[in-house]
Amino acid sequence: MPRPIQAHIDLSALLHNYRLAQAHAPGARAWAVVKANAYGHGLLRAYAALKDAADGFAMLDLAEAVALRQAGATQPLLLLEGFFQPRDLPLVAELDLATAVHCSEQVEMLTRARLSRPVSVMLKMNSGMNRLGLTPDAFLAALARLRHHPNVAALTLMTHFADADGARGISGQFDLFRRTTGDAGLPWSVANSATILRVPEAAGAWVRPGIMLYGGSPFPDQASAQALGLRPVMTLSSEIIGLQDLQPGERVGYGGTFAADRPMRVGVVACGYADGYPRHAPTGTPVLVGGQRTRTLGRVSMDMLAVDLSALPEARVGTPVVLWGEGLAADEVATSAGTISYELFCALAPRVPVAVVGRSQP
Ligand SMILES: *Cc1c(COP(=O)(O)O)cnc(C)c1O
């Protein structure tokens, strides 16, 4: 018997969420962002869900783009960090990939390359996040160089916002981007999930939804995924594999960080940090046992965690447990653990068996 832990990936929920992103940006095309193995959901699973619907897929690694072309993807594929070496470029051209160009070194590599055909470029401006991108002056100089260069097919202008989900919002960065690029008369792309949901006028030619595709709210403190109309894609579930009855003063787990203040029953769940559950989730993190909400107790171990069964006298060895997903938003667990749903999804461990549910087409 394998351990009872399992992740379900709901392809119809993924398709639903992609369509919701499209509905928020009706004039735009939408890159389905599938970097980081589709935020832990599996690149080819995400592709199976979206292959007939997605306008394009955006990823980081050339190998991911190769995998999608091999799987039969004919739509545009975008490398969000672009290429890393001159020797990447012939393959970029051969596979007809669109590439971000975010630094002067990439401009040099691209203009010097000898390519079988020109490549589509997303020229990236640093509008204030100070991660990737060319400063406005360097951006305009690069634009002038690339605009009519024989190695460049379509040109789209892009930037990325640091606080689209937060209090500062996008306006400072978006204003600078529009002021700098306004005269160019070229299509542009600036919107991640938070921007798509909050600032419809920033949709541009291409939006770039990531977390919302996987059913995570980009701003869970303001709106739950459910309130946004998003459906959970990943459900991490397991079972109770052991029970303990505690007397007042008895403690649970490593370090004994939780002590019972009354007689109580504790369930032990086959899920730990080696499965991707966050070790720093404190006592009180929500969990579903037999469909009912309760809380974790004490420290998360490598392979197990403990849950409070005080209000669940019917729970037994074998009672199903949902760690996050259907019935319990990953955002709630993430918030309790001081992180974001992105990190929970990406951390799903390879040892967790995955079952695909739902059909990709209604
Ligand atoms: C990851 C990423 C996105 C998607 O962001 P979400 O917050 O997950 O929607 C969009 N654009 C770029 C450049 C990214 O790296």
Per-residue pLDDT at 1 exceeds 90: no
Q: What would the mean pLDDT of 9-24 be, rounded to a whole number?
A: 98
Considering 47, 124, 254, 342, which one is annotated as catalytic?
A: 254
Give the separation between CA 111 and CA 151, rounded to whole angstroms. 7
Give the separation between CA 309 and CA 243, rounded to whole angstroms. 9
CA-nearest residue, atom 4 of ligand 1: 210
Rg (CA), the chain: 23
DSSP conformation class of 167: S
State the distance from the centre of ligand 1 to the C-alpha of 208, rounded, in angstroms.
6
- Contact between 125 and 159 (Cβ < 8 Å): yes
Query: Could you identify the atom of ligand 1 that is nearest to the CA of residue 164?
Result: 7
State the distance from the centre of ligand 1 to the C-alpha of 211, rounded, in angstroms.
8
Q: What would the mean pLDDT of 224-242 be, rounded to a whole number?
A: 98
Site to substitute for ligand 1 among 80, 206, 214, most atoms within 8 A of C-beta: 80
CA-nearest residue, atom 1 of ligand 1: 210
Residue 121: helix, strand or coil by DSSP? strand
Q: How confident is the model at residue 361 (pLDDT cuts 50, 70, 90)?
A: very low
Query: Judging by beta carbons within 10 Å of its beta carbon (0-12, 13-18, 19+), is residue 80 exposed, middle or buried?
Result: buried
Per-residue pLDDT at 242 exceeds 50: yes
**Which tens digit of pLDDT belongs to each residue from 176-189?**
999 999 988 999 99
Query: Could you identify the atom of ligand 1 that is nearest to the CA of residue 132?
Result: 13
Distances (CA, A) of 64 to 59, 70, 109, 146: 7, 10, 21, 26
pLDDT on residue 362: 42
Nearest of 180, 317, 294 to residue 244 by alpha carbon = 317
State the distance from the centre of ligand 1 to the C-alpha of 191, rounded, in angstroms.
8
Q: Which residues contact 358 (CB under 8 A, 6 or more apart)?
A: 10, 11, 12, 13, 14, 49
Q: Which element (helix H / strand E) includes 29?
A: strand 29-33
- What is this structure's pTM? 0.96
Nearest of 190, 259, 233 to residue 360 by alpha carbon = 233
Question: Which ranges in the chain belong to alpha helices (H)?
Answer: 11-24, 35-39, 43-50, 62-70, 89-94, 104-112, 136-146, 171-181, 193-198, 330-336, 341-346
Contact residues of ligand 1, CB 6 A cut-off: 33, 35, 80, 160, 192-194, 208-211, 218
Query: Could you identify the atom of ligand 1 that is nearest to the CA of residue 211?
Result: 8
**Which tens digit of pLDDT belongs to each residue from 142-155?**
999 999 999 999 99
Q: Mean pLDDT across the chain, nearest whole number?
A: 96
Backbone angles phi, psi at 319, to 5 degrees: -65, 130
Q: Which element (helix H / strand E) includes 354?
A: strand 354-357
pLDDT on residue 47: 98
**Which tens digit of pLDDT belongs to each residue from 20-55?**
999 999 999 999 999 999 999 999 999 999 999 999
Q: What would the mean pLDDT of 251-276 be, rounded to a whole number?
A: 97
Backbone angles phi, psi at 272, to 5 degrees: -140, -170
User: What residue type is assigned to position 300 of the chain?
Assistant: V
User: What residue type is assigned to position 319 of the chain?
Assistant: T
Nearest of 164, 154, 158 to residue 207 by alpha carbon = 158
Give the separation between CA 167 and CA 174, rounded to whole angstroms. 15
Nearest of 160, 158, 209, 154 to residue 31 by alpha carbon = 209
Give the separation between CA 65 and CA 71, rounded to whole angstroms. 10
Residue 264: helix, strand or coil by DSSP? strand
Q: Is 214 a catalytic residue?
A: no
State the distance from the centre of ligand 1 to the C-alpha of 33, rounded, in angstroms.
7
DSSP conformation class of 43: H
Give the separation between CA 37 and CA 270, rounded to whole angstroms. 24
Query: Could you identify the atom of ligand 1 that is nearest to the CA of residue 209?
Result: 9
Per-residue pLDDT at 267 exceeds 70: yes
Locate the DSSP E strands across 222-319: 234-246, 251-252, 258-259, 264-269, 286-289, 292-297, 305-308
In this structure, what token pair is assigned to residue 67?
A: 């995998």
Q: What would the mean pLDDT of 201-215 be, rounded to a whole number?
A: 97
Q: Is 124 a catalytic residue?
A: no
